[in-house]
Amino acid sequence: MTEKAQVKGSYWLQTAPGGAPRPALAEDLDVDVAVIGAGVAGLSTAWELTRAGRSVAVLEAGRVAAGVTGHTSAKLTALHSLVYDKLRRTRGPGGARLYARSQSEAIEHAAGIVEELGIDCDWETRDAYTYVCDAGRVDELRAEAAAAREAGLPATFETETGLPFPVAGAVKVTGQVQFHPRKYLLALAEDLEAHGGRIFEGTTVHGLDEGGPCRVSTESGATVTARDVVVATHYPIFDRALLFARLSPRRELVVAGSIEADRDVDGMYITPDDNTRSVRTAPLDEAGRRLLIVTGEHFTPGTGDTRERFDRLSAWAGEHFPGVDLTYAWATQDIDPTDTVPLVGPLHPGAKHTYVATGFGGWGLSGGMMAGRLLTAQITGEECPWSGLYDPRRLRTAVREAPSFFKTQAEVARHFVGDRLRPAPPVDALPPGEGALVRVGGDRLAVYRDEAGALHAVSSRCTHLGCLVSFNAAERAWECPCHGSRFDTDGKVIQGPATKPLERRDI
Ligand SMILES: Cc1cc2nc3c(=O)[nH]c(=O)nc-3n(C[C@H](O)[C@H](O)[C@H](O)COP(=O)(O)OP(=O)(O)OC[C@H]3O[C@@H](n4cnc5c(N)ncnc54)[C@H](O)[C@@H]3O)c2cc1C
Ligand code: FES
């Protein structure tokens, strides 16, 4: 077994790399709707809008479905860990029912698309489980099973699962799905283009003018004029409603390796125990072997050593699935909203033609598909029963769930001030392959020493709102703990909300 997993990249990207990149936006364009971001949320929205007869341009900084969506664990389920008991308390039984219905309908709708387009995306129906091994949490699971059932899901409380170790209790929801997210979305992208939609890769959006019509400006200077604009950049790059105060980034690790067919776990599993563990499998080869995918060890980006976390997750996989040969390891991050429910709808209280989809809390596959349907209804002027539930302009629940709101703000303030007080090591002490904030003259720089010994120095101030970045040695990236922006060792943006690189510095 490969006990020490290294970051070798996402299985989804390696097994569905896609063809040559689509060209970047090179000249000005006029469309009905501009969608910024081609993850599951952006592409689902663009696909629905194209089918509704709108002319659509998708502007993607990288490649289609290669952001968080290309690094997920790809369970398509309405069982979102432990959400229903909380929802029935905070939104009432009606809110919990709307949540369950909106997520379930999104999955059914995707099943229809897979059938209609004949998409080969390893679509497999499985039961979903949230389990605990700690007997002290069984009552919590019983309450969740009851709340999920009351919300309309086929949920039961169980003590037996397909896992190769005993559990104290589990919520089971039947008839959920696991799939290959990139195969699905690449097919959606092709179909969108076949119906007249346009997709531009390598096109970073910098600016948004919310006039009538809106104007979206890109790094190259080319602009898109559109009646409506959808910001589906994961963390919103435009934030006129201070949404960032209600969103916290959470990075998580994934390791994967082959197991024999007869050791399949026959279900999709997640537990809040052990700093979260999630388990599913995917078809691997013609001999019937399965790819075991284990996720966990969540943390705030830019805090602590990720190598130790990878080691812990790999050790857990080896202990619970002896003999598993871990050949893939990757990491990605999602955003937790402070009041549990994703933010999908108008971008800010005064917005007439700008929309956002964010804060999926680790469940953005069904959530992104749901967002596609919801935003299309709003843009085409149709009613959608769950518009109110997901409305980003809500403040009542954000305030009601104030502890989580204030905790997010306190964390940001702690990083903004505290990180500036941390002692900085001298640059000579930096070994190859490592990065650190070092003092050079009166300045604090983010410096990385590559394997050949050369130093790469960039500004340590995140270009989003100025927090100090921190080095993630396992992934060789600078990460911002405040809202999760990530940069490569030369300062280029890997993940927003930052849209501008860290400035290069001479050292
Ligand atoms: C480890 C892990 C496992 C997960 N597993 C599951 C799961 O099993 N089931 C589930 O439902 N959810 C899961 N999730 C959550 C889910 O993967 C995400 O919520 C979802 O993929 C987010 O999709 P998105 O479209 O919002 O973001 P993304 O897929 O990141 O798409 C946003 C796109 O916007 C682009 N972009 C950003 N800035 C700009 C810019 N300035 N200009 C142009 N383009 C830009 C990016 O390049 C990116 O392609 C998991 C999350 C994690 C972290
Ligand atoms: S991501 Fe907001 S300050 Fe860095």
Average pLDDT over residues 453-471: 94
DSSP annotation of 287: T
Quick one: pLDDT band at residue 396, thresholds 50, 70, 90? Answer: low
Does 439 reside within a domain?
yes
CA-nearest residue, atom 33 of ligand 1: 37
Mean predicted lDDT score pLDDT of the chain: 92
125: tokens are 């129906």
Residues with CB under 6 A from ligand 1: 36-42, 59-62, 66-69, 72-75, 204-205, 232-234, 237, 252, 254, 295, 332-334, 360, 362-366, 368, 496, 499
DSSP annotation of 128: E
Does 91 reside within a domain?
no
- pLDDT of res. 230: 98
Q: Closest ligand to 480 CA? A: 2
Does 133 reside within a domain?
no
Quick one: pLDDT band at residue 423, thresholds 50, 70, 90? Answer: low
Atom in ligand 2 nearest the alpha carbon of residue 484: 1
Strands (E) located in 179-222: 198-200, 205-209, 214-218
Distance CA 38, CA 357 (A): 12
Does 476 reside within a domain?
yes
Helix (H) or strand (E) segment spanning residue 142: helix 138-150
Give every CB contact of residue 500 below 8 A, 6+ residues apart in sequence: 206, 463, 493
SS (H, E, C) 416-431: HHHHHHCCCCCHHHCC
- pLDDT of res. 5: 46
The residues with which 76 forms a beta bridge, in sequence order, are 177
CA-nearest residue, atom 49 of ligand 1: 67
Smallest CA-to-CA distance from 491 within 467, 460, 449 is with 460
Does 479 reside within a domain?
yes
> How many domains are contained in the chain?
1
Structural domain containing residue 465: 422-505
- pLDDT of res. 395: 77
Q: Closest ligand to 279 CA? A: 1
- pLDDT of res. 306: 84
For residue range 57-72, list pLDDT tens digits in order: 999 999 999 999 999 9
CATH number at residue 497: 2.102.10.10
Q: Best substitution site from 303, 465, 487 to test ligand 2's pocket, by max atoms within 8 Å of Cβ?
A: 465
Q: Closest ligand to 372 CA? A: 1
Ligand 1: centre distance to CA 283 (Å): 23
Quick one: pLDDT band at residue 405, thresholds 50, 70, 90? Answer: low
Ligand 2: centre distance to CA 429 (Å): 27
Does 250 reside within a domain?
no
Does 411 reside within a domain?
no
For residue range 104-114, list pLDDT tens digits in order: 999 999 999 99
Does 36 reside within a domain?
no
For residue range 371-382, list pLDDT tens digits in order: 999 999 999 999
Quick one: pLDDT band at residue 262, thresholds 50, 70, 90? Answer: very high
Distance CA 33, CA 229 (A): 6
For residue range 129-187, list pLDDT tens digits in order: 999 999 999 999 999 999 999 999 999 999 999 999 999 999 999 999 999 999 999 99
Give every CB contact of residue 17 below 8 A, 6+ residues apart in sequence: none
For 106, half-sphere exposure in the C-beta direction (CA atoms, 13 angstrom radius) is 30
Distance CA 255, CA 275 (A): 15
Percentage of the chain with pLDDT > 70? Answer: 93
Q: Global pTM?
A: 0.94
Atom in ligand 2 nearest the alpha carbon of residue 497: 1
